[in-house]
């Protein structure tokens, strides 16, 4: 069996209040990926539809999308691992292609979060945690990640100012990403200005500026075997390494509160499979649903030693010109986080970077890229490594 490549990537703009239905939203990311690949729907042998459940009235969206996108009578199914759904979709597409069962597989991620209110959305996301023993206390995503922020601060002396620097970096690139939902500039001083929405409290110690926004969006990644990839694509990007892990859903079953064990484990597995080390990564997309999540990602992926992530951002090493550019498309903090579409959007960014087609966001001549995508509160972790 040969290599597995990516021959097409696409995403919709990530927006608030998408003016269409979920099948129409999915069409946008799919169309861009298919035009990028330059193939017809008949050449897709199977599709995997990825999102977090309970945002839509539509049950089993895979069949509806397959019909709308012209992907019948090929097999299709729905797959979810919360916020890392489409990275998990890539993992399953890889295995379908690697096994020889299919030649070309489409991974379609989507989420239309604006169907419900923000409070309802927090309730849905809170129920991605332990509904028997944690949700009855009134939990929500920002508060869980805030507990990790507090743990990181207590152990390493990380400060709110360190975290604000990550949001400032995200906004630097969000402003030049036409697909991002948040395109306004964010300055460091906004976090200490009580008049600025960035400084508003959400769940201590995290503030509004530390949190990504809900958004509607879709993404699509077309995966092919080596023969098809070489025949169909001018510049295939190869999947070099895949890692995935899970942990206890209830925080009571965990031991680490200054990092995510799933990211450590998935990272180690992906590095081993790809035969590369953290220092070999030229450009990375990490799951910055909150500023603290990017800080922990630096350390869990080995870009910095535990507790030293703050030095990376202070020295601007994760900016486009730095030693390890991270989220130079604005990340989830600026792009927005349409849960099921996020992983595919991260993969799209890395594929465009490795092809040298990232425009204003282009990092200088990258050869190896990495995607870190987390589901739930560090419940599921996927790390994927790509090369030219």
Partner 1 sequence: MGKKKKEVDDRFKRFGTVSFTSITKVNDFIDYLDQGKVMGTRCKECGLAFFPPRADCHNCFSSDMEWFEVSGTGRLVTYSRLQFAPIGFGDDLPYAIALLDYGDYKVFGRIAGDVPEDQIQVGMEMTTRPNTLPNGQLNYVFHKA
User: Minimum Å distance from CB 143 to partner 1?
Assistant: 4
CA distances from 290 to 71, 98, 167, 183 (A): 36, 34, 9, 17
From the list 139, 218, 346, 382, which residue makes contact with partner 1 (rule: CB under 8 A)? 139
Burial classification of residue 362, based on how many CB atoms lie within 10 Å of its CB (0-12 exposed, 13-18 middle, 19 or more buried): middle
- 210 binding partner 1? (CB under 8 A): no
Compute the half-sphere exposure of residue 347: CA atoms within 13 Å on the CB side of its CA.
42
- 55 binding partner 1? (CB under 8 A): no
Neighbours of 192 (CB within 10 A): 12
- 126 binding partner 1? (CB under 8 A): yes
User: Minimum Å distance from CB 292 to partner 1?
Assistant: 11
* Distance separating alpha carbons of residues 376 and 81, to the nearest angstrom: 8
* Cβ atoms of residues 339 and 113 within 8 Å: yes
- 199 binding partner 1? (CB under 8 A): no
Selecting among 102, 152, 287, 337, the annotated active-site residue is: 337
- 119 binding partner 1? (CB under 8 A): yes
CA distances from 378 to 2, 139, 289 (A): 32, 15, 11
User: Minimum Å distance from CB 195 to partner 1?
Assistant: 17
- 157 binding partner 1? (CB under 8 A): no
Using the contact rule CB under 8 A, the part of the chain among 11-19, 32-40, 185-193, 250-258 near partner 1 is 250-258
Using the contact rule CB under 8 A, the part of the chain among 35-43, 48-56, 84-92, 128-136 near partner 1 is 128-136
- 148 binding partner 1? (CB under 8 A): yes
- 334 binding partner 1? (CB under 8 A): no
User: Minimum Å distance from CB 197 to partner 1?
Assistant: 13
Q: What are phi and psi of 141, to 5 degrees?
A: -50, -50
- 257 binding partner 1? (CB under 8 A): yes
User: Minimum Å distance from CB 154 to partner 1?
Assistant: 4
From the list 18, 144, 173, 380, which residue makes contact with partner 1 (rule: CB under 8 A)? 144
User: Minimum Å distance from CB 261 to partner 1?
Assistant: 15
- Annotated catalytic, 83? yes
From the list 72, 133, 357, 360, which residue makes contact with partner 1 (rule: CB under 8 A)? 133
- 104 binding partner 1? (CB under 8 A): no
* Distance separating alpha carbons of residues 321 and 217, to the nearest angstrom: 29
- 146 binding partner 1? (CB under 8 A): yes
- Annotated catalytic, 77? no
Q: Which residue has the tokens 């729905």?
A: 78
- 212 binding partner 1? (CB under 8 A): no
* Cβ atoms of residues 340 and 50 within 8 Å: yes
Selecting among 50, 83, 220, 289, the annotated active-site residue is: 83
| Catalytic residue set | 83, 337
Q: Which spans of this chain sit near partner 1 (rule: CB under 8 A)? A: 117, 119-120, 122-123, 126-127, 130-140, 142-144, 146-151, 154, 201-206, 250-254, 257
């Amino acid at each position: 069996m040969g290599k597995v490549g990516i021959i097409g990537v696409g995403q919709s703009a990530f927006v608030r209040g998408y003016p269409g239905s979920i099948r129409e939203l999915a069409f946008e990311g799919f169309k861009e990926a298919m035009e990028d690949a330059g193939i017809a729907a008949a050449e897709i042998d199977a599709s995997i539809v990825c999102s977090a459940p309970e945002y839509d009235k539509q049950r089993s969206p895979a069949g509806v999308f397959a019909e709308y996108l012209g992907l019948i009578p090929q097999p299709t199914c729905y797959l979810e691992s919360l916020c890392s759904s489409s990275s998990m979709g890539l993992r399953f597409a890889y295995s379908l292609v690697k096994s020889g069962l299919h030649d070309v597989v489409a991974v379609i991620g989507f989420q239309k979060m604006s169907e419900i209110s923000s409070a309802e959305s927090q309730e849905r996301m809170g129920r991605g945690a332990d509904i028997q023993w944690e949700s009855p206390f009134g939990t929500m995503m920002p508060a869980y990640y805030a507990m990790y922020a507090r743990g990181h601060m207590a152990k390493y002396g990380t400060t709110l100012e360190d975290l604000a620097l990550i949001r400032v970096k995200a906004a630097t690139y969000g402003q030049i990403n036409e697909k991002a939902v948040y395109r306004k500039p964010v300055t460091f001083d906004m976090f200490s200005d009580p008049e600025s929405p960035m400084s508003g409290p959400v769940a201590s110690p995290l503030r509004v500026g530390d949190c990504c926004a809900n958004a509607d969006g879709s993404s699509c990644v077309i995966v092919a075997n080596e023969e098809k990839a070489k025949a169909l694509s001018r510049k295939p990007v190869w999947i070099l390494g895949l890692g995935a892990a899970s942990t206890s859903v209830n925080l009571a079953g965990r031991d680490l509160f200054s990092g995510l064990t799933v990211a450590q484990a998935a990272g180690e597995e992906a590095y081993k499979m790809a035969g590369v080390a953290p220092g070999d990564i030229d450009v990375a997309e990490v799951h910055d649903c909150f500023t603290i999540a990017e800080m922990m990602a630096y350390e869990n992926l080995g870009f910095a030693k535990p507790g030293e992530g703050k030095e990376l951002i202070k020295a601007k090493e994760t900016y486009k010109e730095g030693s390890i550019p991270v989220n130079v498309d604005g990340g989830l903090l600026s792009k927005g986080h349409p849960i099921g579409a996020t992983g595919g959007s991260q993969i799209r960014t890395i594929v465009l970077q490795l092809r040298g087609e990232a425009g204003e966001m282009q990092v200088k001549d990258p050869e190896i890229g990495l995607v870190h995508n987390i589901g739930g509160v560090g419940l599921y972790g996927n790390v994927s490594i790509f090369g030219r």
